[in-house]
Structure 1
């Protein structure tokens, strides 16, 4: 290291040592004021104080060149790592009474081994012992291994910290990650090239000094700025993966070191080729689904009492099922969700045909061959699945078929080499289908835990599929309901036309020679023909009548209804005020008012009174039809009057009042009914006014 770098490094370490010393004094003073002290706070103080010793010792060595100060700085660096290891390991401890998983329990032992190895290597360097090679290379490998292990612990802490504490722990985590990554870069490069980067080494102290403000920020946010955290299988998997990758790289670095040490002139080239090949191999292993599956099974089998994190599995499975809503995609999501639980590449779904069926057929698949083979619902396999609800392990069945009683596998399933597990989909006591999973990427022991998880997940998947089928059936029922409702309206109108034609035919026997009757008969037939044409258009185009809504003169409609009543031998007393115009379909409005008038006539004796009043009230068009007929009960008016197929008539259908109510509401109006048994009924139809201007507004302007 040249003179300029030595001066820069001295200032850098002096800056780090001073800041760490100030922070150590503050932490010590805080600990005196708060009792009792937690183990994490003690380890934090050790790490900060050791960092201060390390920075000051390295600064003094650079200025004086004394070997003892160099050794003190190296020991201080080891103590600094020991303090951070202890701090993070304490945070990873479970709550009182909880057992630490076996894989996580090994981390303290690994930390102790790495620290002892570093201390031994320091002794080798001090006494110039070369039992394992040059001490300088061992020192570099020890420093790199410490930084890798520190990153593993930090990842474990941050991944498992509770949500409310993540805001507090983020600054210190960022600071530690920066310093450990810088050390990893510095020492891994030195291992590769057998020489420390002088520029990077000169600013190491300053980089570590940046950690001090972040620690101070975390301690000021909350007094209990890091809470106890729990260990999850997902975090253990990622931590174990990171740790394995670190060990792998350390091993390759060690091999590369000795290849370079004993390789002579070819040593450096061989070392670079080995390291590059190792990194490519690590990437291939990381991207391999089979390797990840085997590693996850290994973690769950040896590190945890239970293989699955059920909360995580359930959330992931529910999210998978909720991704899509169409029946075809839902089937694929069911297969995918069940397969992902067991590291299976895919499978197939067999379900009954829509509307109920006698066979199960393949309706969805994922990474499984398509097949047209079906399975009858009364086959031995389906009867066994429906009655027992078991998950069938085909490997177990082939080796020990007696466990499954009289169950027999169909030929198409025996010829499927990928088939591994059969999961029944049961809703209540009915099996709506089953899923055949393909063989897993890793060797998984299908024990009671796997069976229970698949059975429960299968029932949830069956509920989703059953709900999807019920929704489809409901949509079809609604379509039929809409068609039936429209048909009921059409039949109701046809009934009125038939009644009118029947009355005309009955009178024709007496008045067929009367010229006036003949003229009236022709008009009636022509009107009936036009109405039937409108009904045909309505059936073809839907329930909405053809044409657009226009201004309708209600007085003209009332006069026509009164004339029709007179021709039928009934008298309608009409009271007309000023001209009243509303907006709508004229023919449909006439049918509605005529229906109300006809109901009044049907409920009133020939000697009774039926009266229609047309006027304006509160800015609306008002039609009031009153009669002195038999009336209706209050309960019938409130609960049944405007519902389809509810009527007081002997031969009525109860459609007219329902149709009238819907159309008046569609126009923005309403129908009010007051009735009393044996006294009569009053029906009030309120419609929005449609004002007509007889003259243009421009005519109001006087031209001078």
Structure 2
């Protein structure tokens, strides 16, 4: 009779059972992986597996044109028995049961409900077995009455469970109650209709798998909300958010399509045009809504609030928070990133950062996505600053009460007018080692938000992390500045040391001028010394102007350099023995800064002259140039006081350690070793107390002749 219509309905029912089977296969796998052995989780897993079996049996019923319906009904009865067992276990945990306004002992009430449930389940399954082998149409009344009784029983159990569960705990069972209520309200309607008209409506029967499949996500959400059921189920917030978005968009487009159909149908000649314009406008509105930050924020808050144990996915929030705060490639300054990292947690679009200065005042240090406020400093004696210091609370600037619920009418901070009248909402203290580093003020979030303990905890924890990060950033900044000053101080020390040497040369020249002013050879040496001093002072001035030591690297003739240094130091103390006529001395060249290398040799030579002062006429300083492998050795040897091995090891090369009292700087030998090492050489020292000292400067030569 029904022809193609019946075939289409059978095909639709077949597809529905496949969808339902896939949904409960996925749910069963998730529950099985998360099950840890407790009976609540085990029975809920059994409910999911029997729902899967029922879906598979429905597929075979659809394929066999109803011949295997008895098997499907029996599996359905077993599934219903598992649901009833699950609800009875939950109901057993209720500490107080209220019936008609009177409290009943849970144990007696549970026994009564258990007995009724067992009788109804046995009756239902027995009727299905007895009548299942006869054509379904001839046995509607007895079979359907059993399923109708099951529906009434499940709804009664749900009502008792939900009503007798403490209001603060209903959040955990809300969705599974809604899922089972949805299934059995529909079952009640289906079987009541069947009993009333003594037949089964094919369309209502075919819609059952769709109903059962639709509620499967609700069961998963409840499993995730109740870890005490020993089902470690994780549902991605992003997946729920995007799924909710897609479902909402799908429902919206479906409604708009229906409206467009009727516009075309009743629009006359303009129907098609009106339909096209309407659908296009509807799609544009949908895109505007989906791209709206406020709408997305509202949906995200709604999903987090109603579908999960905790409001925040702390792993995702912490990753995003740290990524924003430490994003070195972000063009935002670090303090603006700090505001943004906290604002993202509560979906705030903008904010301000006030940093505590050394005098205790709070100075506006950064702003993000907002114009500068009228107030740029909050003094340390301001009521708000005192309140933040005393309470260390997250403050709601709109109601002016500490958001951690410790506030009272007597504990309201006084908010400055520019902050109270602006679009500012939350003040978050930044605590570093129990000290206030500053605070961040966030604008009104995109979606309505009333802070609870979870918001406060995550904001205060993130605020402490921000304070620690910014404090370390400030410390690194100060360290960089200190290093710059250290570099200038170090340069100044070396410059003073070199100036001291120049002053020593000029002082010696001045002292000898009275005695040898008529000596032409002395006059020539004096001009050469002055010229050399002027060159060195110009070199030092260049270093001071540039802030760094300017190097002029070139080929330096070792023999010529030693000869010049010896000439400058004649008459400064001990007799200097150096055979400058040795032809091999002028054959070696070193790649170095001539001024720097000359200063090194000059300093070592001056130390040798100083060490022999007590020897008077017996004082001798010898200089020799010795080639060895890839080095040319400049040896400076004296017969002075000498040094111990401990002194050489512990003090000789230590900066700012001197044995010359106020006349010494203690950096000459240190500077000499640093430079010789930098050009690839080394310094070796041999010394014996009371005998003398030998310095060997190993210099890597580049060529053995100028050619």
Q: State the match for 1:223 in structure 2.
A: none
Is structure 2 residue 606 aligned with structure 1 residue 598? yes
Q: State the match for 1:170 in structure 2.
A: none
Q: Kindly provide the CA deviation profile for residues 113-144 of structure 1, in whole angstroms up to 9, marking residues without a partner as x.
A: 4544665676699899799xx96776777665
Measured at CA, do residues 239 and 447 of structure 1 come closer, stay the same or move farther in structure 2, by a change above 3 Å?
Answer: closer
Mapped contact 1:286–1:292 kept (Cα < 8 A): yes
Q: State the match for 2:489 in structure 1.
A: 484
Q: Shift in Å at residue 662 of structure 1?
A: 1.8
Q: State the match for 1:383 in structure 2.
A: 386
Q: State the match for 1:242 in structure 2.
A: 243
Q: State the match for 1:565 in structure 2.
A: 569
Mapped contact 1:615–1:621 kept (Cα < 8 A): yes
Q: State the match for 1:672 in structure 2.
A: 684
Provide the rounded CA distance (Å) in 1 between the counterparts of 2:434 and 2:263: 73
Q: Kindly provide the CA deviation profile for residues 280-331 of structure 1, in whole angstroms up to 9, marking residues without a partner as x.
A: 7665554444344444445555666654444443343223211238996211
Alignment of 1:583-662 (within 5 A): 583-605=591-613, 606=616, 607-650=618-661, 651-662=663-674
Provide the rounded CA distance (Å) in 1 between the counterparts of 2:54 and 2:450: 48
Mapped contact 1:621–1:687 kept (Cα < 8 A): yes
Is structure 2 residue 349 aligned with structure 1 residue 345? yes
Provide the rounded CA distance (Å) in 1 between the counterparts of 2:509 and 2:263: 121
Alignment of 1:153-164 (within 5 A): none
Provide the rounded CA distance (Å) in 1 between the counterparts of 2:329 and 2:610: 52
Is structure 2 residue 427 aligned with structure 1 residue 422? yes
Q: State the match for 1:329 in structure 2.
A: 333
Measured at CA, do residues 481 and 692 of structure 1 come closer, stay the same or move farther in structure 2, by a change above 3 Å?
Answer: same
Is structure 2 residue 173 aligned with structure 1 residue 105? yes
Measured at CA, do residues 565 and 57 of structure 1 come closer, stay the same or move farther in structure 2, by a change above 3 Å?
Answer: same
Q: Shift in Å at residue 500 of structure 1?
A: 0.9
Q: State the match for 1:413 in structure 2.
A: 419
Mapped contact 2:637–2:694 kept (Cα < 8 A): yes
Provide the rounded CA distance (Å) in 2 between the counterparts of 1:422 and 1:525: 70
Of 573, 590, 593, which residue of structure 2 is paired with 1:582? 590
Q: State the match for 1:554 in structure 2.
A: 558
Q: State the match for 2:119 in structure 1.
A: none
Q: State the match for 2:522 in structure 1.
A: 517
Q: Kindly provide the CA deviation profile for residues 181-225 of structure 1, in whole angstroms up to 9, marking residues without a partner as x.
A: xxxxxxxxxxxxxxxxxxxxxxxxxxxxxxxxxxxxxxxxxxxxx
Of 443, 448, 451, which residue of structure 1 is paired with 2:448? 443
Provide the rounded CA distance (Å) in 1 between the counterparts of 2:438 and 2:329: 18
Q: SS state of the match for residue 539, structure 2? A: helix
Q: State the match for 2:158 in structure 1.
A: none
Measured at CA, do residues 311 and 342 of structure 1 come closer, stay the same or move farther in structure 2, by a change above 3 Å?
Answer: same
TM-score (norm 1): 0.68
Q: State the match for 1:395 in structure 2.
A: 398
Of 682, 690, 695, which residue of structure 2 is paired with 1:683? 695
Corresponding pairs, count: 586
Provide the rounded CA distance (Å) in 2 between the counterparts of 1:314 and 1:341: 9
Provide the rounded CA distance (Å) in 2 between the counterparts of 1:462 and 1:266: 64
Q: SS state of the match for residue 491, structure 1? A: helix
Q: Shift in Å at residue 592 of structure 1?
A: 0.7
Measured at CA, do residues 559 and 309 of structure 1 come closer, stay the same or move farther in structure 2, by a change above 3 Å?
Answer: same
Alignment of 1:84-233 (within 5 A): 105-116=173-184, 119=187, 146-150=212-216, 229-231=232-234
Structure 1: where are the runs of 5+ without partners? 28-34, 62-67, 94-98, 162-226, 696-704
Of 467, 484, 502, which residue of structure 2 is paired with 1:497? 502
Mapped contact 1:614–1:623 kept (Cα < 8 A): yes
Mapped contact 1:554–1:582 kept (Cα < 8 A): yes
Mapped contact 2:260–2:279 kept (Cα < 8 A): no
Q: Shift in Å at residue 610 of structure 1?
A: 2.5
Provide the rounded CA distance (Å) in 2 between the counterparts of 1:260 and 1:566: 113
Q: Shift in Å at residue 562 of structure 1?
A: 2.7
Is structure 2 residue 531 aligned with structure 1 residue 526? yes
Provide the rounded CA distance (Å) in 1 between the counterparts of 2:589 and 2:70: 104
Provide the rounded CA distance (Å) in 2 between the counterparts of 1:391 and 1:364: 19
Measured at CA, do residues 635 and 429 of structure 1 come closer, stay the same or move farther in structure 2, by a change above 3 Å?
Answer: farther
Mapped contact 1:293–1:442 kept (Cα < 8 A): yes
Measured at CA, do residues 499 and 360 of structure 1 come closer, stay the same or move farther in structure 2, by a change above 3 Å?
Answer: same
Mapped contact 1:101–1:304 kept (Cα < 8 A): no
Q: Kindly provide the CA deviation profile for residues 597-652 of structure 1, in whole angstroms up to 9, marking residues without a partner as x.
A: 11111122332343333212343222232333333444443344334322221211
Provide the rounded CA distance (Å) in 1 between the counterparts of 2:211 and 2:234: 23
Provide the rounded CA distance (Å) in 2 between the counterparts of 1:282 and 1:386: 47
